[in-house]
Amino acid sequence: MGYSRQTRRNRALSSVSTLLLCFLLCISEPSNAQSSPVFACDITGNPSLAGFGFCNTELKAEDRVTDLVGRLTLEEKIGFLGSRANGVSRLGIPPYNWWSEALHGVSDVGHGTNFSGQVPGATSFPQVILTAASFNVSLFEAIGKVVSTEARAMYNVGLAGLTFWSPNVNIFRDPRWGRGQETPGEDPTLTSKYAVAYVKGLQDTEGEDPNRLKVAACCKHYTAYDVDNWQNVQRYTFDAVVNQQDMDDTFQPPFKSCVVDGNVASVMCSYNKVNGKPTCADPDLLSGVIRGQWKLNGYIVSDCDSVDVMYTSQHYTKTPEEAVAKSLLAGLDLNCDHFTGQHAMEAVKAGLVNETAIDKAISNNFATLLRLGFFDGDPKNKPYGDLGPKDVCTVENQELAREAARQGIVLLKNSAASLPLSSSAIKTLAVIGPNANATTTMIGNYHGIPCKYTTPLQGLAETISSRYEPGCSNVACAEADLDSAMALAASSDAVVLVMGENLSIEQESLDRVDLFLPGKQQELLTQVAKVAKGPVVLVIMSGGGFDITFAKNDDKITSILWVGYPGEAGGLAIADVIFGRHNPSGQLPMTWYPQSYVEKVPMTNMNMRPDESTGYPGRTYRFYAGETVYAFGDGISYTQFTHRLIKAPGLVSLRLDQSHPCRSSECQSVDSIGPHCENAVKGRSDFEVHLNVRNAGDREGSHTVFLFTTPPAIHRSPIKHLLGFEKVRLGKNEEAVVRFKVDVCQDLSVVDEIGKRKIALGQHLLHVGSLKHTLNIRV
């Protein structure tokens, strides 16, 4: 029945004949014509609902959930196991679509959210990889807050749900990964901080009951998921072979932070298997870790449709019923799509799973909807009830999209200070390249419909009279129109080339094959640079990094900017940076490897650490010591910043118990739990690092201070590890003190070979830029 399409007027009436009338009216309406939100317990419209405990806002949440579950037949319960939940009209519960997305703006991927004449678009922020490059935690949260406001506004007019399956917190482990663009990069610390801040921005009701949710976020894809489709290896059948050490210090930390520190309302398990088991059927990963150790307050959802995949593609189970039962018993609460809904009844009849397990799953789902106010009746006079189309694509929201893009943009090369371009010295600008007038390319994947686009060409032309040559007809650049591009460059004072890729080269279900600029882009660049009279600025629009060694070494290419997929306001932000209205402060959240790296490393090798015996070089700045094109954290400014250490201890003594074995014999490391760590909590071995940061140049700018540590080389520990980062904005000649609080047991410990956290004894090196400080930890 088309309940979700009913109008408010129709919902108020409840006789069979009016329902029939509605049915006829509703099917004649276009599917997105609904204009009121979907919610249960509409007591005003249907006073008989007032008697139901689950509609009684005075009762405790658990009791409301228990009441609701108690009223449902088994068949009705099964209807709540799938993402397109059926609803139960006799209880005033409408159908609900759980699947909405909000990776970097409200998206219409999934069917829970649509755009319409009433809300034709929503603010489209930069793709996450660029936002992450800002290393600005308050920006991450500010974006989440705007996105959840626009989401609520769309919910209020019936265009969106309340459950959003974002963010993606998988580690960007291999430069070829097509979905690397969706993530905050390769570093667990940055990814964890991003997850916590973005989830807070989405979920936080600010001062209201902390158990309430503005919208429900979801950290995905749990876990060790980062191969989509590489040389015919498909995510649906890939078995990620992961050792315990990598699991616990690379793949799991972002999920742990998201649940433990971010209080996320949901985790999505992935398609792939980990060590032979599909993640959505692994009781240790789901019930054991997420719910048991991390204490998820919310629901676990499958990827779409990984329960089906388990049976159909992985042949992990002999029957569909077995796949459904195994995943429910492992701790899955909700199945994206309808496979579980289709086969759960047979699974129960066959005795593979009982009603108790189903009750547990739907209780988690209901509890989440309850926190969102779904069972509280009409949201109109409730918090967020006044949000509507006027709150979407506001001037402020669109300005934040521009601000986010310019905070993320990374300046990689700037010889002879060719940037910023001076609009008094440069009279004519050549804008060249297949992404120079990009629109949809700027918003990457998991996008919605943006409020509007400002292309790079439009952004640049606002400041300086610009002429345009695409150079190639698209990013694949099979043929380059060298003559026109060179002629334009030769007759202009400066050249901006906007190159890179789009979703036809990297995206979901599509990993890259190499790290070269596509097709003839390199030739176009080199030839244009050769004939240019003035500065040549290479702008790279992409999710992943490239081997652009040729451009780095080409003296005629004077500046290089990486702009990610910069979102709807990308062209404005690029112009802000190029003309110096914004001083760039973005830094790479991932390593840019040379092409030779991907030639020797199969994408399917999940090991993070190098292996001397096979020549395997390891992955990410934490373990890969080989040559890079650009390194994690690279990014320069139009000004210079200097660091000076003010305070850091040279020695930390752990106070072990009298009975601790390491008091009497030599130990390389001690466990990072135990009385000596509880003492640390009380401050005995916590310490602070204070740094003076000075803007030594002549313009204002922001700067991220990275505090890295290098532990002693035991337990195959990382070469270096990002302990923390802090972004500061400083005027010219201004200085500030940046303080890091270091918890020895948490921040200086490493994960050992069997996944246990240990504090390595001996010399630890702290580094901030070129500054190094030795810290001795002993017992």
Q: C-alpha angle 135/137/140, rounded to 5°?
A: 100
Which two structure tokens, joined as six digits, stand for 112?
């829970």
Residue with smaller CB distance to ligand NAG, 10 or 672: 10
| 3-state helix/strand/coil string of 578-603 | HCCCCCCCCCCCCCECCHHHHHHCCC
Contact residues for 21 (Cβ-Cβ < 8 A; gap 6+): none
- List the end-to-end C-alpha distance of the chain, in Å, as a whole number: 69
**Do 744 and 694 touch, CB atoms closer than 8 A?**
no
Q: What's the closest the beta carbon of residue 84 comes to ligand NAG, in angstroms?
A: 9
Residues that bind ligand NAG (CB under 6 A): 31-32, 34, 111-114, 136, 138-139, 142, 159, 354, 356-357, 403, 437, 439-441, 455, 457, 468, 474-476, 502, 504, 702, 727-729
Residue with smaller CB distance to ligand NAG, 213 or 329: 329
Residue with smaller CB distance to ligand NAG, 5 or 221: 5
Q: What's the closest the beta carbon of residue 98 comes to ligand NAG, in angstroms?
A: 11
Residue with smaller CB distance to ligand NAG, 503 or 532: 503
Residue with smaller CB distance to ligand NAG, 366 or 565: 565
Helix, strand, or coil (residue 530): helix
Q: What's the closest the beta carbon of residue 409 comes to ligand NAG, in angstroms?
A: 13
Q: What's the closest the beta carbon of residue 641 comes to ligand NAG, in angstroms?
A: 12
Q: Which residue sits closest to ligand NAG, CB atoms considered?
A: 476
Residue with smaller CB distance to ligand NAG, 171 or 324: 324
Q: What's the closest the beta carbon of residue 724 comes to ligand NAG, in angstroms?
A: 15
Contact residues for 290 (Cβ-Cβ < 8 A; gap 6+): 222, 255, 259, 267, 296, 300, 331
Q: What's the closest the beta carbon of residue 181 comes to ligand NAG, in angstroms?
A: 14
Which two structure tokens, joined as six digits, stand for 662?
């390491």
123, 128, 672 from 735: Cα distances, Å: 35, 30, 36
Q: C-alpha angle 457/458/464, rounded to 5°?
A: 80
Contact residues for 528 (Cβ-Cβ < 8 A; gap 6+): 432, 471, 482, 485, 486, 489, 495, 497, 536
Distance CA 567, CA 564 (A): 9
Which of 204, 249, 282, 303 is labelled catalytic? 303
38, 141, 382, 560, 619 from 591: Cα distances, Å: 45, 25, 47, 16, 9
Which two structure tokens, joined as six digits, stand for 453?
């686009």
Residue with smaller CB distance to ligand NAG, 136 or 189: 136
The residue to which tokens 């992404």 are assigned: 435
Q: CA dihedral defined by 207, 211, 217, 222, rounded to 10 degrees?
A: 140
Distance CA 570, CA 444 (A): 12
Active site residue 634: no
439, 578, 629 from 538: Cα distances, Å: 18, 11, 15
Residue with smaller CB distance to ligand NAG, 142 or 344: 142
Nearest to 496 by CA among 417, 420, 583: 420
**Do 46 and 13 touch, CB atoms closer than 8 A?**
no
Q: What's the closest the beta carbon of residue 629 comes to ligand NAG, in angstroms?
A: 23
Q: What's the closest the beta carbon of residue 455 comes to ligand NAG, in angstroms?
A: 5
Q: What's the closest the beta carbon of residue 751 comes to ligand NAG, in angstroms?
A: 31
**Do 82 and 341 touch, CB atoms closer than 8 A?**
yes
Distance CA 103, CA 675 (A): 42
The residue to which tokens 């399956």 are assigned: 165
Residue with smaller CB distance to ligand NAG, 36 or 474: 474
Active-site residue numbers?
Answer: 303
